[in-house]
């Protein structure tokens, strides 16, 4: 019967020791699972930016291209946006030749894409500027033609009438006529070059 006691003790020891071991292992497993889940959440890509309406936007995707770099608050991996250089530095970099700018740290594909976007923006700005210049030139030509026609009317000596503030028709006297001729000559000097 002495043999029964050691076996009972062994069973008790194994049962309680394994029970404690399993309990502690379960606790460790849960802690590891929580830590792993926290690591996965922190590793997920999180972008944060301010949209054009002034609202904060959180996303796992990069912001649209119309969002300025200064409005990006957070990038994936905890990287913060670079601080924009002062305007003098930007102007100096823009006036420097393209071959002088170092591009060793940048991937070639992104650099080409950026250059293409810059060229496209410059072309669009140039087209807009040309359209504005053409519109202004057409307006000057039209103003010049009207001024020449009005000058011819005043030089012919015909009495010219106009409508006053009350809506009544009145004939111009000589002083008003001289002022109007000077105004027309100023328009012609400015627009008829």
Q: Does an H or E element contain 171, and which?
A: strand 169-171
C-alpha–C-alpha distance, residues 28 and 83, integer Å: 44
Q: What per-residue confidence (pLDDT) applies to 186?
A: 92
Q: What per-residue confidence (pLDDT) applies to 183?
A: 92
Structure tokens that stand for 95 in this block:
């006036």
Of 64-78, 83-97, 117-131, 159-173, which gets the smallest average pLDDT? 83-97
To the nearest 10°, the Cα dihedral for 77, 80, 81, 85?
A: -140
Q: What is the value of pTM for the model shown?
A: 0.38
User: Do residues 49 and 67 touch, judged by C-beta distance below 8 A?
Assistant: yes
Is residue 20 scored above 70 in pLDDT?
Answer: no
- Over the stretch 139-152, which tens digit does the pLDDT of each residue have? 989 999 999 999 99
To the nearest 10°, the Cα dihedral for 46, 47, 51, 55?
A: 40
């Amino acid at each position: 019967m002495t043999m029964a006691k050691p076996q009972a003790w062994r069973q008790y020891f194994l049962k309680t020791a394994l029970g404690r071991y399993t309990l502690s292992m379960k606790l460790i497993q849960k802690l590891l699972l929580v830590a792993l889940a926290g690591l996965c959440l922190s590793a997920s890509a999180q972008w944060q930016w301010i949209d054009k309406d002034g609202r904060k936007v959180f996303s796992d995707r990069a912001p649209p291209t119309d969002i300025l770099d200064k409005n990006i608050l957070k990038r994936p991996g905890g990287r913060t946006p670079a601080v924009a250089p002062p305007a003098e530095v930007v102007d100096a970099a823009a006036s420097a030749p393209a071959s002088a700018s170092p591009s060793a740290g940048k991937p070639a594909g992104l650099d080409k894409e950026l250059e293409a976007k810059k060229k496209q923006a410059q072309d669009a700005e140039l087209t807009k500027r040309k359209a504005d210049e053409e519109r202004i030139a057409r307006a000057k030509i039209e103003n010049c033609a009207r001024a020449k026609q009005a000058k011819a009317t005043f030089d012919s000596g015909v009495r010219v009438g106009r409508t006053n503030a009350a809506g009544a028709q009145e004939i111009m006297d000589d002083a008003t006529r001289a002022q109007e001729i000077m105004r027309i000559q100023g328009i012609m000097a400015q627009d008829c070059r």
